[in-house]
Every structure is written in structure tokens, then in C-alpha cells.
Amino acid sequence: MLVLRGTVVTPDGVHPGWEVRIEGGRISGVGSASDRAPGRVVDFGDAWVLPGFVDLHIHGIGPHNPKSKEGIAGMAEWEVKFGTTGFLPSLSSATKEEYLRFLEDVRSVQEDPPEKGARVLGAHMEGPFVNPKMKGGMDERFLRLPDPEEYEDYLVPHLKLMTLAPELPGALELVGALVENGTVASVGHSDAGVEDMERAVRAGLSHVCHLFNAFPERREREKGVKQPSLAEICLVTDGLTAELNGDGVHVHPLMIRLAVKAMGVENTVLMTDSMEGTGLPDGVYRMTDGRLYRVRKGDVARLVDSPEVIVGSILTMERGLRNLVELCGFPIHIASRMASLNPARVLGMDGEIGSIEPGKLADIAVLDRDYRVLMTIVNGKVIYRG
């Protein structure tokens, strides 16, 4: 048995002087530290013992991107340095062949995972069925209308999330097909109006991709009535969860507080949207679609040719957690829910991962009070020490 002592963070609070007992890959007990714990005891003092982070939206990290099997395995190995224990490799702006290869690569890494890596929980396709008007950092050449001939080939069990624009012709059928496949349908890079969203939610759309980013401005008045923006529609629509970039640049911290107030904390998710080059020195890197972008510490990833275009972030989850606490003002157990339990719930995996509770898989991140990762545990095994 492995016993971790420290300030244990559970969904309902922060517990100094507690311990987490781990046996056979699972959490077997959580509670006040006992005098005679059996097994190996690691005492972290006042450091936080948190559920490992779950990142639903990530395009690359370190020198890796998801455009090959090795790249996805490399991402899994890098993720644990930042306390992330489960993630969805995400691919945007690609051809059908590239998406099919991506899905195949995700599956083969799931079947043959690296020994010391985070769990690859499935695949996230960001596009290609999104609105060119709201392309944000995406390459327009690769955006197209939903076509069953194309998307039926994507409907594999490990496709967990697809971001799409529900106002496109054929999008509602796509949402229906995704839901039937067990895939979460997410609105993003979209110019949907009130009725588009009503129809999409009725068809089963349930998630929002990087709320507030690549979102349209408010529409013209209709019949003299001021219209809500798509972000505002998402904020008030029941049955939606939303992911937010926590790097402090993509959205102002106050907007994250707004989302939490309007949607409820249980429906908001921290993610990184990070790119290859994250965690590496400042410099120029190549996007999976070939274009060049620059990363600079404290900033975001920007196109070299048009620096006003943000193509992603260089955020890591432990920094996102810190920002939720220090910039947004959330208590750490609330920030932790947004970084672990809520994304696990989006995927329907919260019965197994996402919180420190007896019976769950032992996926754990230990952070010191400066949010530095001291230890990452996946499936009860220590796979990273800071």
C-alpha cells in the first residue's frame, strides 16, 4: 500500500493532515492521518494532494503534437510533468485522411500506452465542420460542411468529443450521430443564433468549446429587439457544460467568474488548448497544418505572419489551477473540481477518475504551495517526481 500525507483536496473541501491510501491502482481510503498506516508513507507536509488534472483540449506539449502515434505517446509522457493524468489529444484544421490517421493513432496509443504517461482518454476533433466566419486560428482551407459520407467514418468508440458549428446545414444530423456514438457534441467556432442553439441542444449538443474565444460579437437587432451573443446564449442554456482557457490572456479572469456564476461551478471546465512548444523555450514552432507560430512566456501562441491571430495557448494545467485560485479568486477545492472532476464528468468518466474518493482510480497530483508539481501518480503508480 502507498500512503500519501498532505493537505488533501476533495470535491467538498481542503483537509490538512489527511492521507490518501492507495492499493491495487485504486484509492482505498481517504481520511485523517493514522498513527500506524500500513505500507509506504510519503509525507508531503502542507503540500496539496489533488486529483490528477483532466485536459479535454490540447494540441501539443513539449516537442510533441498529435499528428503521429509517437507524438501522442510523447504528449502523454509530457503531461505528467504538469500534473495531468488524463487528456484528449485534439486535432483541428485537417483533411479527412489526417483525421482518420489521428483516430487510428489515438486508438493504438490507448492499446499500447507509454509506461510513464498520462491516460489517453480518447480523441477530440476540433472541426472540420465549423464556421469559416469564426475560424479563429484555424486554416480555412480545411473547413467544410457536415457530410455523412465523411463523418460516418469518424464515429469510433474512442472519439469522445467533437467541436462543430450547429448552424451549418447538416449539423443537427451530425449532432444526432455523435450522441448515438457516445461522443460529446460541442459548439465552437460557430455563429449560431438563439434558434440554432435551441435545436442543437434538443438534438443532444451538450458542451461549449473554449467559451468566449472564437465567439461572434452580438448580432444586429432583429425586429428592433437587441439580440444575445452566442456566449450569452451558452451562459443561460441549461444542459450545457463549458470549457474555459485559464491562461489569463485568452479570457479575462472576470469572464471565468461570470461563466461559473451563470452556469454553475459543476458545469465549467478548465482546459489548456496548448500547442507544441508548451514547456519549451520561447521560439517559433510549426502548427499541425504547417503554418508557423511564435510562443513567448507569459503570452500565447501567435501566427508568425499575423501576430494578432492567437492560435492556441502555452498553458499547462497546474498553472491554470493557480490562475483559477490567484486571478479568479476561487478556493482551491473549487478550482480543482474545474480541473479534474468536471472534465471527467463531461466524458462520463467521473465514476472512475476526477476526484480523491475511495474506489476511484488513483490518479493524483501533488503540488507545493507555489503550484509546482512534486509528484504525479497514474493508476496508483508514481510516474513523475518534480
Report in angstroms how near the CB of residue 218 gets to Zn ion at its nearest: 24
Distance between CA 210 and CA 193 in Å, rounded?
17
Distance between CA 286 and CA 294 in Å, rounded?
9
CA angle 95, 87, 168 (to 5 degrees): 40
Task: Decide: is 55 part of the binding site for Zn ion (CB under 5 A).
Answer: no
What is the total count of residues that contact Zn ion (CB under 5 A)? 2
Report in angstroms how near the CB of residue 289 gets to Zn ion at its nearest: 12
Which range, of 111-119, 126-134, 192-200, 323-331, touches Zn ion by CB under 5 A?
126-134
User: Which 3 state secondary structure label does DSSP give 17?
Assistant: strand
Which range, of 11-19, 22-30, 120-128, 356-364, touches Zn ion by CB under 5 A?
120-128
Nearer to Zn ion, 247 or 273 (CB): 273
Binding letters toward Zn ion, positions 91-110, x by CB under 5 A:
--------------------
227 secondary structure, DSSP code: P
Distance between CA 324 and CA 329 in Å, rounded?
6
Report in angstroms how near the CB of residue 342 gets to Zn ion at its nearest: 18
Q: Spell 145-173 as b/e; 16+ CB within 10 A means b.
A: ebeeebbeebbbebbbbbbbbbbbeebbe
Task: Decide: is 126 part of the binding site for Zn ion (CB under 5 A).
Answer: yes
Report in angstroms how near the CB of residue 317 gets to Zn ion at its nearest: 15
Nearer to Zn ion, 55 or 126 (CB): 126
Report in angstroms how near the CB of residue 273 gets to Zn ion at its nearest: 4
Nearer to Zn ion, 30 or 61 (CB): 61
- The length of the chain in residues reads 386
Binding letters toward Zn ion, positions 268-297, x by CB under 5 A:
-----x------------------------
Which of 180, 182, 185, 176 is closest to 208 using CA atoms?
Answer: 185
**Touching Zn ion, residues 5-44 (CB under 5 A):** none
> Roughly how many angstroms between the first and final C-alpha of the chain, as a whole number?
22
Residues engaged in binding Zn ion (CB under 5 A)? 126, 273
